[in-house]
C-alpha cells in the first residue's frame, strides 16, 4: 500500500481551520488541505497531503481540450460516540476505476484510494458536522495533464481529493422535475455509466431551462426512442407503483449509484418488492394520474433521498404526485440516514471507520 506523505504546512492549516456557519450548504466550504498524487511512466507517485491550493496546468494539458477526467462523490459521517465513518467507500473506489477504464485513464489501486480518503478524513475530523443528515463530502477526481494538442489518451495524470463539510443538497423537502423530451444526455455505447464531467456538461443547457421553468431537476429519457426514463442529471429515479418500488434497470447509459444500490437493499430488507425494468415516461404519467403511482423520489450521494412533488412536461403541463411528501420515500430516507449516522444498525461492510490520528 502506498503511504501518504504528510506535509507540515497542511497540518498547520487544518489545525487552524474552523467553520462556524450553521448554514453549511453544499460545497460552500472546502477544507484547507487536499490529497494529490501524480501518474507518469506507468506508476503512481508522490501521494501526499498538501495545503489546498490552485493547480498549475499547461494551457495545452489534455484535460482542458479533450475532457479526459473522472470524479466521485462520497460522504463521511459522525456517529454518536464521536467516531467518524465513510459510507461504502469500496463501491466508490470500484466505480472510480470503472470510469477510469472507460476514459482510457489509469486505475487507482483500491487500497491507495481508501488510504487517501482515510487520511484526508482523519485530518479533517473536526470538520465532520454533528447534526443528523450533515456530513463531510469527499470529491476524489483525476485529470489528464500531459501536454499536447494531439487527440490521444494522456500518459500523465493527477489524482486529487478535496473535502467539504456540507449540509442538505436541497433546501426544500421535495423536488419538481422537468421532463426533457428533446435533448439527450448520452447514448448507448457512450460514457453514460462513467462518472465524468462530459456527462454533466451535456445536461447544463437543459438544466438552465429546468430552473427557468421553476423546476429543480431534469429527467432524462433514452436517446433512441425518447420514451424510457433513465435518470436525473445527477441522481437515480424510483417510483412506487401498486405498492412496489420500480426503478430503471441499469444500462451503459445510467450511472450505477451507490445510494441507488443502498436503497434497493434497504427496501428488500423491509420486504418491499423492487422491480428493475424499463419504465416509460408515459406509463409513469398515467400511473400518477390514476393513483397507481402513489409517489416517486430521486436519490444520490449529495441528495440522499428527496420525494418528487410534480412532473412538468415539455409543453408545461404539470402532473402532481398523489403523495408529494413521499411516505415510503421518507421511510427509506430515515433508515438510510440512520445507518449512515450510526443510529441504526448497518449491514455488514457498509461503514468504514476512520482511524484516529494525533497531530
pLDDT digits (tens, 9 = 90+) for 21-64: 888 888 899 999 999 999 999 999 999 999 999 999 999 999 99
Measured between alpha carbons, how far is 72 from 302 in angstroms, rounded to an integer? 11
Q: Are residues 204 and 304 in the same domain?
A: yes
Predicted pLDDT at 137: 97
Q: Which residues contact 8 (CB under 8 A, 6 or more apart)?
A: none
Q: Are residues 126 and 182 in the same domain?
A: no
Predicted pLDDT at 359: 82
Q: Is 269 helix (H, G, I), strand (E, B) or coil?
A: helix
Q: Are residues 108 and 219 in the same domain?
A: no
Q: Are residues 32 and 111 in the same domain?
A: yes
Q: Name beta bridge partners: 66.
A: none
Q: Are residues 257 and 292 in the same domain?
A: yes
Find out whether 132 and 337 touch, Cβ atoms under 8 Å.
yes
Q: Are residues 16 and 153 in the same domain?
A: yes
Measured between alpha carbons, how far is 328 from 273 in angstroms, rounded to an integer? 12
Predicted pLDDT at 310: 96
Measured between alpha carbons, how far is 92 from 95 in angstroms, rounded to an integer? 5
Predicted pLDDT at 170: 62
Largest CA distance in the chain: 63
pLDDT digits (tens, 9 = 90+) for 298-334: 999 988 999 999 999 999 999 999 999 899 999 999 9
Would strands 175-180 and 217-221 be described as parallel, antiparallel, or unpaired?
A: parallel
Q: What grid cell was written down for 108? A: 487507482
Q: Are residues 22 and 163 in the same domain?
A: yes
> Which CATH number is 270's domain given?
3.20.10.10
* Structural domain contains residue 337: no
Q: Are residues 155 and 209 in the same domain?
A: no
Q: Are residues 157 and 232 in the same domain?
A: no
Predicted pLDDT at 63: 98
Average confidence (pLDDT) per 10 residues, the chain, 359 residues: 91 94 89 98 97 97 98 97 97 98 98 98 96 94 97 97 87 86 94 95 96 96 97 95 97 96 97 98 96 96 93 95 92 96 96 92
Q: Name beta bridge partners: 45.
A: 38
Q: What grid cell was written down for 57? A: 496546468
* Structural domain contains residue 307: yes
Measured between alpha carbons, how far is 16 from 320 in angstroms, rounded to an integer? 49
Q: Are residues 63 and 198 in the same domain?
A: no
Q: Which helix (H) or strand (E) holds 101?
A: helix 89-102
- The structure's pTM equals 0.95
Predicted pLDDT at 244: 97
Predicted pLDDT at 2: 77
Q: Are residues 164 and 198 in the same domain?
A: no
| Total structural domains within the chain | 2
Predicted pLDDT at 15: 95
* Structural domain contains residue 359: no
* Structural domain contains residue 332: no
Q: Is 89 helix (H, G, I), strand (E, B) or coil?
A: helix
Packing angle, helices 89-102 and 110-123, rounded to 10? 130
Q: Are residues 94 and 200 in the same domain?
A: no
* Structural domain contains residue 112: yes
Find out whether 115 and 2 touch, Cβ atoms under 8 Å.
yes
> Which CATH number is 82's domain given?
3.30.470.10
* Structural domain contains residue 111: yes
* Structural domain contains residue 35: yes
Measured between alpha carbons, how far is 320 from 312 in angstroms, rounded to an integer? 9
CA distances 25 to 79, 145, 229, 246, 254, Å, are 20, 31, 29, 31, 27
* Structural domain contains residue 342: no
Q: What is the DSSP letter of 249?
A: P
Domain that holds residue 264: 175-325
Measured between alpha carbons, how far is 58 from 173 in angstroms, rounded to an integer? 44
Q: What is the DSSP letter of 125?
A: G
Amino acid at each position: 500500500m502506498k503511504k501518504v506523505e504528510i506535509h507540515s504546512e497542511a497540518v498547520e492549516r487544518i489545525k487552524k481551520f474552523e467553520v462556524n456557519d450553521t448554514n453549511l450548504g453544499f460545497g460552500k466550504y472546502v477544507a484547507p488541505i487536499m490529497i494529490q498524487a501524480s501518474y507518469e511512466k506507468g506508476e503512481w507517485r508522490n501521494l501526499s497531503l498538501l495545503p489546498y491550493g490552485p493547480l498549475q496546468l499547461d494551457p495545452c494539458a489534455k484535460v482542458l481540450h479533450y475532457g479526459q477526467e473522472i470524479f466521485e462523490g462520497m460522504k463521511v459521517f459522525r456517529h454518536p460516540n464521536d467516531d467518524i465513518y465513510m459510507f461504502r467507500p469500496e463501491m466508490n473506489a470500484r466505480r472510480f476505476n470503472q470510469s477510469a477504464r472507460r476514459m482510457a485513464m489509469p486505475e487507482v489501486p483500491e487500497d491507495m484510494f481508501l488510504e487517501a480518503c482515510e487520511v484526508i478524513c482523519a485530518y479533517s475530523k473536526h470538520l465532520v458536522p454533528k447534526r443528523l443528515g450533515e456530513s463531510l463530502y469527499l470529491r476524489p477526481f483525476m485529470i489528464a495533464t500531459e501536454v499536447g494538442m494531439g487527440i490521444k489518451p494522456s500518459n500523465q495524470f493527477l489524482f486529487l481529493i478535496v473535502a467539504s463539510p456540507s449540509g442538505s443538497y436541497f433546501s426544500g423537502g421535495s423536488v419538481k422535475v422537468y421532463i426533457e423530451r428533446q435533448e439527450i444526455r448520452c447514448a448507448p455505447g457512450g460514457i453514460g455509466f462513467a462518472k465524468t464531467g462530459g456527462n454533466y456538461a451535456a445536461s447544463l443547457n437543459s438544466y438552465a431551462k429546468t430552473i427557468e421553468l421553476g423546476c429543480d431537476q431534469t429527467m432524462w429519457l433514452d436517446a433512441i426512442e425518447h420514451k424510457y426514463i433513465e435518470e436525473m442529471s445527477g441522481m437515480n429515479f424510483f417510483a412506487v407503483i401498486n405498492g412496489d418500488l420500480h426503478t430503471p434497470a441499469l444500462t451503459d447509459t445510467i450511472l450505477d449509484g451507490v445510494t441507488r444500490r443502498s436503497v434497493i437493499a434497504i427496501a428488500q430488507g423491509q420486504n418491499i418488492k423492487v422491480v428493475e425494468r424499463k419504465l416509460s415516461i408515459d406509463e409513469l404519467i398515467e400511473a400518477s394520474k390514476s393513483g397507481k403511482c402513489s409517489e416517486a423520489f430521486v436519490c444520490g450521494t449529495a441528495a440522499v433521498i428527496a420525494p418528487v412533488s410534480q412532473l412538468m412536461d415539455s409543453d408545461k403541463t404539470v402532473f402532481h404526485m398523489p403523495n408529494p411528501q413521499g411516505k415510503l420515500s421518507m421511510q427509506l430516507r430515515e433508515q438510510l440516514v440512520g445507518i449512515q449516522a450510526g443510529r441504526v444498525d448497518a449491514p455488514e461492510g457498509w461503514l468504514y471507520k476512520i482511524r484516529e490520528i494525533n497531530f
